[in-house]
Structure 1
């Protein structure tokens, strides 16, 4: 068996942040090269601290879904996964044995050499008749002062494409560091300019910031009077949303250090947890806010408050992805980064096979089955708040200054509407949904939403509209 884990940043505020990772997971899942493809996130669920518990195999390859090396790929992700590594990742990646799993961690997909082909593809989409005689290329990066590695991939791609002979000029420009994108009229002499954002996803920067900084009015913008005469700018889609990125991810996985022909075995703890869930489903039971029942060889999942409503009154989905998409927002349309909050929308039913039930429940309540079964078996270890706080780096390190009173004040609001019982805060949970108590779900460690809110509290910004997470 082999498991592939794609790690994205995610967001507490914006559900679209995870869309690209979901899409690539589905593309790769459809190719059948891995027994499973699992997504994990820094700001959503399953969290980086949970995601390895959700893999079925003891052979796991982890790909950071980031466009460049930097703070997240070199510090945050290795730390949260418990890899015992900090700093630049070697080209072949790193390998560790964690809890009986062989875990391989690779470079981010954006630094793979084949991304140059994706840049050219995006350029050709924006300008099909691009010509080396009159077309300049701008490889556009974000830029940062936090990590010097983050801009290296932009310069390397620009240098390689400069030598390809495909363009009259090739420039590396940035949003947040020099040379900035707004200086393009001074630097580029070619009459046609194609701009390819080297970004992981479509978002605020690609839709708003870049067009504003460059003075663009659409996909094609005429500039009749620049220092070098009339110029036309062709604005491409970001490289990270191109379907060919799926091939780049698979190349990285194949090249991962220590990859074996045989693969791994099914993880025993994972198997036992899901067998227990299927047993509960076969006899009919509750898990959190949902009711699961067996019906003629398939399983129906619905909101418990919709019990007894005829199926014709409900929206029916028949795939795990359909269930995921229906339940990622509450009834007001707001993003649900924490799936155990008591705001699961009503008005739907999922009809799933047994295999799809496992994936559907995983999407509905990520890591809940694995962690609850471990607690049921008394093998789940809680991480107290001070340990979580000490592990934080960068802008989150300030949570180490939070007083117990501040943490409890924030938790009383953030955690009040959550199904989980805070083992990390010393609360006890005698039974679980496996023993018939539907809402009895353990919380082994403070979630990233709470960490972010505690940071806001310590900074004096909480409730002042200053949220940036």
Structure 2
């Protein structure tokens, strides 16, 4: 019994940020090499603090779906997972026993040597006839002042491609450190320029920030009066969304420290939680806004407010992935980073087997089954706000300065529309959805949306457009 977890950044604002991780999870799941493949996120659900609880095996390998070593892979992810490790990850990864699970944490996939081939593949897609005579390549990284290691993979890839002699120029540029992407007209002289974002996913930066900083209007943008003359820029898709990355992920997992042991077992608490839910579901169960109704050996899921509507009036979903993709947006098409907000979309029904029901419920309400069952067993430990605040680093460290009044003010706005009961704030939850109370869902720790909003409150910027912060 083995579980594989893919960790992405995610976003509070842009649902596309998580798409690449979901796609790779689907590809790897289809190969059947692991008993389960689970996604976890820094900015979405299940969160890094929750994701280990959602795995059904005691043998877990965690792959950070990041392009380079840096702040997130060396500080944030190990901290939030409780690995007891900070700093550079050795080539074989880090192995720890956490809550009865053996957890192996690897290097990010982006440092794999074959990623240079993916860069070239993306360049060919954007400009099939690039040449060493008239084409420059920009390998575009994020960069950060918080960790000097984050730019190494970008420079290394640029150096390797430069040595191959396939381009007139090869330049590494960055969003958040020098040399910055906005300087490209000064440093690139070739008439044709291919820009390949060395990013893990299509998201805020690739869709908004980079085009804005470079003055791009689409996949091909002409600049008739640049300092070096007329230039045309060809904007490629990010390397992290290329299908070949699935092979890189599996290679990392196979080489993880102790991965060949394959001695995992079913995690008892996780299995007991789901057996309890399935037992209730066989008689009909409501979790939050979602109704589960048994019907001749299969189960139907739909929004509770659609109860009684003929199935012909609803869009029918037949896979857990269909539920996942539907539930991630509200009726207005807006991204839902927190699934327990009272804004689940209506107008759909899913007809699923019992096996698929588990994954569909997981997608609809990530970690809710496991945390609620743990709460009923008095095994869910709440984390008070001061503890959560003290754990924050980087740009979020300033939440430690928030007064209790500020935190409560923000929580009133953020948490009022959420189904969860704030155990972390001292609220009591005596009955859960397992007892027939649909909205009885525990919240053991302040979510990342609240942390981000408290940061904005302390900074005096709350209410403004804070794209990068979220």
TM-score, with structure 1 as normaliser:
0.94
Separation (CA, whole Å) in 2 of partners of 1:34 and 1:212: 41
Flag the 1:393–1:313 CA change in 2: closer, same or farther, 3 A: same
Deviation at 1:268, TM superposition (A): 0.7
Query: Residue 204 of structure 1: CA displacement?
Result: 4.0
Answer yes or no: is 1:266 the counterpart of 2:266.
Answer: yes
Mapped contact 2:17–2:204 kept (Cα < 8 A): no
Change over 3 Å in CA distance of 1:215–1:361 after alignment to 2:
closer
Q: Counterparts of 1:185 and 1:427 in 2: how far apart (Å)? A: 57
Structure 2: how far apart are the matches of 1:179 and 1:388? 35
Aligned twin of 2:87: 87
Which residue of 2 is the match for residue 353 of structure 1?
353
Counterparts of 1:303 and 1:244, CA distance in 2: 37
Contact 2:6 2:25 in 1 (8 A): yes
How big is each residue's C-alpha offset from its partner over 1:414-469, in whole Å with a ceiling of 9 and x where there is no partner? Answer: 21122111111112222222222222111111111111222222222223555731
Offset, 1:101:
0.6
Distance 1:466 1:203, change over 3 A: closer
**Residues 83-130 of structure 1, C-alpha deviation per residue, up to 9 Å, x if partnerless?**
011111112211111011111111111111110110111122222233
Residues 180/285 of structure 1: CA separation in 2 closer, same or farther (3 Å cut): closer
| More displaced 10-residue stretch of structure 1: 377-386 or 363-372 | 377-386
Shift in Å, 1:143: 2.3
User: 1:426-437 residue pairs with structure 2 within 5 A?
Assistant: 426-437=426-437
Look up the match of 1:366. Answer: 366
Q: RMSD across aligned C-alpha pairs, in angstroms?
A: 2.0
- In the alignment, the residues of structure 2 paired with residue 373 and residue 81 of structure 1 have an alpha-carbon distance, to the nearest angstrom, of 20
> Is 2:102 the partner of 1:114?
no
Q: Which residue pairs with 2:74 in the alignment? A: 74
For residues 413 and 14 of structure 1, the distance between their equivalents in structure 2, rounded to whole angstroms, comes to: 20
Residues 225 and 427 of structure 1, relative CA distance in 2, 3 Å threshold: closer
Give the equivalent residue in structure 1 for 2:323: 323
SS in 2 for 1:260: helix
Separation in 2, partners of 1:89, 1:229: 45
2:126 is matched with: 126
Give the aligned partner of residue 393 of structure 1: 393
The 5 A counterparts of 1:17-28 are 17-28=17-28
Q: Would the aligned equivalents of 2:146 and 2:394 in 1 still touch at CA under 8 Å? A: no
Distance 1:19 1:2 in 2: 24
Deviates further, 232-241 or 2-11: 232-241
User: Cα offset for 1:214?
Assistant: 4.0
- Distance apart, 1:46 and its partner CA: 0.5
Q: What corresponds to 2:29 in structure 1?
A: 29
Preserved CA contact (<8 Å) 2:14 2:204: no
Deviates more, 1:353-362 or 1:103-112: 103-112
Secondary structure of the residue aligned to 1:4 is strand
Cα offset, 1:356, TM superposition: 0.5
Q: Provide the rounded CA distance (Å) in 1 between the counterparts of 2:250 and 2:11.
A: 25
Q: Identify the residue that residue 101 of structure 1 maps to in structure 2.
A: 101
Matched, 1:378 2:378: yes
Give the SS at the match of 1:283: coil
Distance (whole Å) between structure 2 residues aligned to residue 417 and residue 190 of structure 1? 53
Question: In structure 1, what is the equivalent of residue 195 of structure 2?
Answer: 195
Q: Structure 1 residue 281: deviation in Å?
A: 0.8
Between stretches 88-97 and 408-417, larger displacement belongs to 408-417
The Cα of 1:28 is off from its aligned counterpart by: 1.4
Higher mean alpha-carbon deviation, 6-15 vs 459-468, is at 459-468
Q: 1:463 — aligned with what?
A: 463
The alpha-carbon deviation at position 230 of structure 1 amounts to 5.6
Deviant stretches of 4+, over 6 Å: none
1:421 paired residue number: 421
Alignment pair present for 1:51 and 2:37: no
Structure 2 unaligned spans of 5+: none
Q: After the TM superposition, which of the residue ranges 160-169 and 298-307 deviates more from structure 2?
A: 160-169
> Displacement of 1:311 after TM fit?
1.0
Q: What per-residue deviation string (whole Å, max 9, x for no partner) do you get for residues 59-98 of structure 1?
A: 1111111111211111111110000111111122111110
TM normalised by structure 2 equals 0.94
Q: 1: CA distance between counterparts of 2:364 and 2:354?
A: 15
**Structure 1 SS opposite 2:282:** helix
- CA-to-partner distance for each residue in 1:206-233, whole Å, 9 max, x for gaps? 3444345445454344556666666544
| Structure-2 change in CA distance of 1:215 and 1:327 (3 Å) | closer
Instruction: Give, in whole Å, the separation in 2 of the partners of 1:281 and 1:114.
Output: 46
2:260 aligns to what SS in structure 1? coil
Q: Hey, what's the Cα distance between the residues in 2 that align with 1:456 and 1:191? A: 43
Q: Which runs of 5+ in 1 are unaligned?
A: none
